[in-house]
Amino acid sequence: MTSHRPRPRKSLGQHFLIDPNIVRKIMRLAALQPNETVLEIGPGRGILTRALCAEAQTVIAVELDQKLSDDLAEELAGSHNLDLRRGDGLAFPYDTLPWGTVVVANLPYYVSTPLLFKLFDARVRIDRMILMLQTEVARRLVAKPGTPDYGILSVLTQYWVEASLAFRVSASCFRPSPNVGSSVVKLVTRTQPVAHTVHEASFVRVVRAAFAHRRKTLANSLRDEGFQSEPIALALARVGIESSQRAERLSIEEFLALAEVLAMPEVDD
């Protein structure tokens, strides 16, 4: 056991899980197989790491805090399937992950969205992710069109993964307790796309541009982000979307159709 524990660094999102029931619920949801590799971002004091090492073949754990990482290396010295790396989860070489990796993490909330995008970029190597997130972010991941939480994060997440909200976690399950709500989500990488697209980059660009100015109509938001008025009008008409429509009403399929048409050379001129 490590003798001296430094104060948790809130600037690094250090809210440590202290409730073994929550660890059990996360493990049940992860349903790890003995041949699977797990990536954990931010192992902290290792409450999840210990459980992961007991069930997975290998656990790659990336911790930014030097002291926490040193303490964990000492405490889990007997866990021979732990591959502990001191470093930033944002700079981790995701392209080195084995195929079928499972990500299980209580993410540092201050950096959860950029981390999510890193994980999405690496999705071909990831089978599923069980993530503790700020409830507000978790709700955005699973939000449906026409709801206030629906935005870029919802569309892109649901395009790449099947996202479900698993359960909420009370602030009293952490030390120190966070002053935001926490929820666990399950994200399963899609093996079949929602709809076929040959223009994924165009889709991502259109989604980002559509939501860039939330109070404007879709057409105006796209125009303000560099799309030309005429191709926008043509594309909206072809896809059958009213020019007065707002981005938050469009389904993923409609964004995909719009992006396909906008990417066509005769429309893009």
What is the distance between the alpha carbons of residues 91 and 93, in angstroms, rounded to a whole number?
Answer: 6
Instruction: Indicate whether 16 belongs to the interface with ligand SAM (CB under 6 A).
Output: yes
What is the distance between the alpha carbons of residues 266 and 136, in angstroms, rounded to a whole number?
Answer: 41
From 111, 133, 155, 247, residue interacting with ligand SAM (rule: CB under 6 A):
111
- The set of long-range contacts for 85-90, using a CB threshold of 8 Å and a minimum separation of 24, is 85/60, 85/61, 87/62, 87/63, 88/62, 88/64, 89/41, 89/42, 89/62, 89/64, 89/115, 89/118, 90/114, 90/115, 90/118
Whichever of 75 and 225 has its CB closer to ligand SAM, that residue is 75
b/e code 51-76 from CB counts within 10 Å (16+ = b): bbbebbebbbbbbbbeebbebbbeeb
Which residue matches tokens 């540092």?
108
Shortest Å, Cβ 188 to ligand SAM: 21
Residue whose beta carbon is closest to ligand SAM: 42
Report the largest interatomic distance among the alpha carbons of the chain, rounded to a whole angstrom: 69
Let me know if 251 is exposed, middle or buried by CB neighbors in 10 A (0-12, 13-18, 19+). Answer: middle
Shortest Å, Cβ 44 to ligand SAM: 3
Structure tokens at 161: 């993964």
Instruction: Indicate whether 14 belongs to the interface with ligand SAM (CB under 6 A).
Output: yes
From 37, 79, 101, 106, residue interacting with ligand SAM (rule: CB under 6 A):
106
Shortest Å, Cβ 111 to ligand SAM: 5
Instruction: Quote the distance between the C-alpha of residue 84 and its chain's center.
Output: 22
Whichever of 17 and 232 has its CB closer to ligand SAM, that residue is 17
From 52, 68, 116, 209, residue interacting with ligand SAM (rule: CB under 6 A):
68
Of 24-63, binders to ligand SAM (CB under 6 A) are: 41-45, 47-48, 62-63
Instruction: Indicate whether 126 belongs to the interface with ligand SAM (CB under 6 A).
Output: no
Whichever of 43 and 231 has its CB closer to ligand SAM, that residue is 43
CA distances (Å), origin 180, targets 23, 109, 112, 138:
19, 10, 14, 12
From 84, 94, 108, 131, residue interacting with ligand SAM (rule: CB under 6 A):
108
Binding segment (CB under 6 A) for ligand SAM, from list 11-19, 77-85, 149-157, 218-226:
11-19
Whichever of 89 and 231 has its CB closer to ligand SAM, that residue is 89
Binding segment (CB under 6 A) for ligand SAM, from list 85-93, 138-146, 195-203, 249-257:
85-93
- DSSP β-ladder status, 37-41 and 16-17: unpaired
From 10, 54, 88, 124, residue interacting with ligand SAM (rule: CB under 6 A):
88
Shortest Å, Cβ 33 to ligand SAM: 21
Structure tokens at 154: 């919802």
Residue ranges binding ligand SAM (CB under 6 A): 12-17, 41-45, 47-48, 62-65, 68, 88-90, 106, 108, 111
